[in-house]
Chain A
Amino acid sequence: MESVCSINNFVQCLLNLGIAPDLAQFINILLGVVLVAIVPLVTVIMLIYIERKVAARVQDRIGPNRVGPYGLLQSVADAVKLLTKEDITPLGADKFIYNLAPIIAFASVILVWAVIPFTPLHVGADLSIGVLYFMAVSSIGTVKVVVAGWSSNNKYALLGAFRTIAQLLSYEVPLVLALLIPVMLAGTMSMQGITIAQQGMWFIVMAPVAAVIFFIANLAEAGRAPFDLIEAESEIIAGYNIEYSGFKFGMFMAAEFIHAFTIAVLAAVIFLGGWSGPFVHEVPVLGFIYLGIKTFIIYLFSLVLRSTVPRVRIDQLMAFNWKFLVPISIINVLMTAFLLQVVRALGLAPDPAQATDFVANLPQAVILLLGNLVVIGIVLTMIRNTGRRQRLEDEARHAAALERELERVSAPAGD
Chain B
Amino acid sequence: MIELNVQTIAFLIFAACILGGALGVVTTRNLIHATLYLVLSLFGAAGFFVLLSAPFMAAVQVLVYIGAIAILIVFAVMLTRSMTRLRDIYNRQWVMSAIAAGLLFVLLMVGVILPVWGVGGAQAGREVSEVVASTAELGTALVSPNQFVLPFEVASLLLTAAMIGAIVIARDDE
Question: Which residue numbers of A lie inside 8 Å of B, CB to CB?
Answer: 22, 25-26, 94, 97, 127-129, 132-133, 135-137, 139-140, 142-143, 146-147, 150-151, 158, 165, 169, 172, 187, 189
Contacts and interface: CB of A to CB of B under 8 A. Distances in A.
Count class of interface residues, chain B = 20 to 34
Contact of A135 (B59, B84, B135): B59
A133 B75 CA distance: 24
B63 interface: yes
Interface string B36-52: 10010000000000000
Contact of A165 (B56, B75, B132): B75
Nearest to B63: A136
B55 A127 contact: yes
Chain B CB count within 10 A is highest, among A26, A151, A189, for: A189
Interface in B10-36: 30, 32-33, 36
Given A143-B66, A146-B71, 14 more contacts: A22-B5, A94-B30, A128-B132, A136-B60, A137-B62, A139-B62, A140-B62, A142-B71, A143-B39, A143-B70, A146-B78, A151-B32, A158-B78, A165-B71
A139 B32 contact: no
A139 B55 contact: no
B55 A146 contact: no
Contacts of A169: 68, 71
Nearest to A147: B36
A133 B135 contact: no
B interface majority secondary structure: helix
Contacts of A132: 56, 59-60, 63
Chain A CB count within 10 A is highest, among B33, B74, B134, B136, for: B74
Contact of A136 (B36, B62, B75): B62
A25 B5 CA distance: 11
B70 to A, nearest CB: 7
Given A128-B134, A142-B71, A97 B63 contact: no
A128 B135 contact: yes
Contacts of B132: 128
A196 to B, nearest CB: 16
A22 B5 CA distance: 7
B67 interface: yes
Contacts of B66: 139-140, 143
Interface in B88-136: 132, 134-136
9 closest pairs, A vs B, by CB?
A139-B67, A136-B62, A132-B59, A136-B63, A136-B59, A146-B74, A129-B55, A129-B59, A129-B56
B87 to A, nearest CB: 14
B6 interface: yes
B49 to A, nearest CB: 11
Chain B CB count within 10 A is highest, among A97, A128, A139, A172, for: A139
Nearest to A145: B71
Contacts of B55: 127-129, 133
Given A22-B5, A128-B132, A129-B135, A139 B78 contact: no
Contacts of A147: 36
Contacts of B62: 136-137, 139-140
12 contacts: A26-B6, A127-B55, A128-B134, A129-B56, A132-B63, A133-B55, A139-B63, A140-B66, A142-B67, A142-B71, A146-B74, A189-B135
Contacts of B36: 97, 147
Contacts of A127: 55
A318 to B, nearest CB: 14
A133 B134 CA distance: 14
Contacts of B135: 128-129, 189
A97 B35 CA distance: 12
Contact of B6 (A25, A128, A142, A172): A25
A25 B75 CA distance: 42
A382 to B, nearest CB: 23
A189 to B, nearest CB: 6
B32 A97 contact: yes
A136 B32 contact: no
B6 A22 contact: yes
A62 B26 CA distance: 58
A136 B67 contact: yes
A221 to B, nearest CB: 12
A97 B75 CA distance: 16
Contacts of A158: 78
Contact of A133 (B33, B59, B71): B59
B47 to A, nearest CB: 13
Nearest to B46: A136
Contacts of B30: 94
